Amino acid sequence: MHPVLDDLIALLKLERIEENIFRGDSRDIGSAQVFGGQVLGQALSAAQHTVEDRVAHSLHAYFLRRGDMKAPIIYEVDRARDGGSFSNRRVVAIQHGRPIFNLAASFQNPEPGLDHQAAMPDVPGPDGLKDIADVASEHLQSLPEKMRRFMTAKRPFDFRPVEPVNLVAAEPQDPVKHVWIRTVDQLPDDLALHQNLLAYVSDYELLGTSTLPHGLPFGRGKVIMASLDHALWFHRDVRIDRWLLYSMDSPNASGARGLARGQLFTEDGQLVASTVQEGLVRVIEKERNDRSDPRLQV
């Protein structure tokens, strides 16, 4: 298996410390703090370790504090309920004695029922589209060092945006975005693993959709973005090692917060998951020299 993907899978498995307590490490992907998708995927993994024969169908999470990449993260699972058809789990992620994240997840015994879904957007397929790494390589010399490091880091996923991407001089556009996503290598037939990886990758790209109408100057380091909450629903079984279209839109931005929604479709049009996220979006007009500036805090 591709070493970067293999490392991510190991990262999501977690170490069991006690019956309902797990420990996870972090990886630096070039962000200012622990990547939110990593904590989301690890928390879901911790919950899954305490459930048998039931499949995750929804999760709701809040990001409380910045994660420290140099310290382990402890995940405490509360087995809130095991009913006849559903199980509920609450997970708290802790660093340095304080919660940095909490999650509620629900699991269900698979069963048949009513079936309908939204139509898949009519957009070009992944074949022939450039990966985001190839797009970034065309602008590397014009990007700040931090963004350059983020854009050139080895990733466990392929990202092929449908719409043109301008990393240097963004222009205002409709708050709609489509990106084809899949892992860089094949995975075993393990639905829980595919769900964990989907949770991880669902935090990429989503919040940025709320900035598209404003043409924000990301390349000049004057935009602060951070996830505040994240919701994810699994509608059908999913394989993240096959192309999924991440269709995103943003219905609102106000109060220094942006709201974005996403739907994930297979190539043949099945809707496998939906997401909603709200996040902090601050534009800093002056130089960011003083880290005590309250505008820099989440």
Residues catalogued as catalytic: 203, 227, 277
Nearest to 107 by CA among 195, 36, 26: 195
Quickly list DSSP for 61-115: EEE-S---TTS-EEEEEEEEEE-SSEEEEEEEEEETTEEEEEEEEEEE-------
CA-CA distance, 206 to 131, in Å (whole number)?
A: 17
Instruction: List the 176-183 sheet strands across, edge first.
Output: 15-18, 21-24, 73-82, 86-95, 98-108, 55-63, 223-234, 271-283, 257-266, 244-254, 176-183, 157-161
Helix runs in 138-206, H state only: 145-152, 191-201
CB neighbour burial string for 197-221, b if at least 16 within 10 angstroms, e if fewer: bbbbbbbbbbbbbbbbebebebbee
Instruction: Work out the burial of residue 90: count CB atoms within 10 Å of its CB; fewer than 13 is exposed, 13-18 middle, 19 or more buried.
Output: middle
Are 47 and 86 in contact by the 8 Å Cβ rule? The answer is no
